[in-house]
Every structure is written in C-alpha cells, then in structure tokens.
Amino acid sequence: MEALSKTGNYNTKKQLAQHEKELAKAEKRLSEISLIIKRLYEDSVTGKLTDERFAELSKDYEAESAKLKARVRELQEANASYREASDNSRQFTALIQKYFDVEALDAPMLNELVSKIDVHQSLSLNGKKGRWGTWEQKIDIYYNFVGIIS
C-alpha cells in the first residue's frame, strides 16, 4: 500500500494540479481569441481594417485557436486518466485493507486481488543443466485496478 501511494498519488495530484492550471489558462485564451476575432470582423466590416490585414490576423488567431483546442483536449484526457488512476488506487487500497490480517490465501481472495500472473521461461544462472543447477524464473503478478507493483 505504501509503494502504491508513494508512486501514484503524489505524482497524480501534482500533475493534475499543473494540468488544471494550464487548462484554465488555455480556456481563458480561447475566450480571448474568440472576442478578438469578433472585433477584427467588426473592424473589417466598418472599414477600420483592410481585407488583407483582416485575413492575415484572423488566420494567425485561427491557427492559435486550433493549437489551443488540441491542447485542451489532451489536458482533459490526461486529467481523466489521472482521476481514473486515483480511483483505481483507492479501490485497490480498500481491497488490500479487506484482506490485511488474512493468514492464508484462498481462491476467492486470489481472484479478487489478482487479474493475471505471467510465468516466464526459467533461466540457468550458473550454466549447468539438470536438477543441481541454479535457476531463475521471473513471475509478473498483475493486481486488479493497479497492474504490477514493484
């Protein structure tokens, strides 16, 4: 539980706060650009601005707007992902607390805690073959909600 909370929650909270700040700034700028384009159009219609200058300025603002909209989508997706990871972390923590004092692992507990186990090919560590050699076998345990925990 400590390893999960140390790696996941701190980074998630910090990054989420940074993304929220950047998202608010980008959305504010999008509103400003919208107003600027409206004013440019009005200035173009009233003759305060030439058609060429209007086209040049509006093209620049439209490009900036398109970049900001793409960035807003990225940030919203990242925030949703961070929130999901945080929810998964809380669910896993609750599940671990449920089985905290258990002395023996049984099949229902295993099914509730673990999504899959990958057993890799065993490797000889000392180059000897047969039953007297030293072997190493990697096993990856994927826990529900959080995946592999180092």
8-22, 59-73, 74-88, 91-105: which is most confident: 59-73
pLDDT value, residue 93: 80
Residue 49 has pLDDT above 60, yes or no: yes
pLDDT at position 132, please? 63
> What is the predicted pLDDT for the residue at 31?
96
Residue 129 has a pLDDT of: 59
Tens of pLDDT along 93-117? 888 888 778 888 888 888 888 889 9
Q: By CB neighbour count within 10 A (0-12 exposed, 13-18 middle, 19+ buried), where does 29 fall?
A: middle
Q: What is the pLDDT of residue 29?
A: 96
Tell me how far the alpha carbon of residue 2 is from its chain's centroid.
20
Domain positions in the chain are: 2-98, 103-150
At CB < 8 A and 24+ separation, what contacts does 38-42 make?
Answer: none
Query: Quick one: pLDDT at residue 107?
Result: 87
65-70: which pairs have CB atoms within 8 A and are 24 or more residues apart? 65/30, 65/33, 65/34, 65/37, 68/26, 68/29, 68/30, 68/33, 69/30
Burial class of residue 92, CB neighbours in 10 A (0-12, 13-18, 19+) = buried
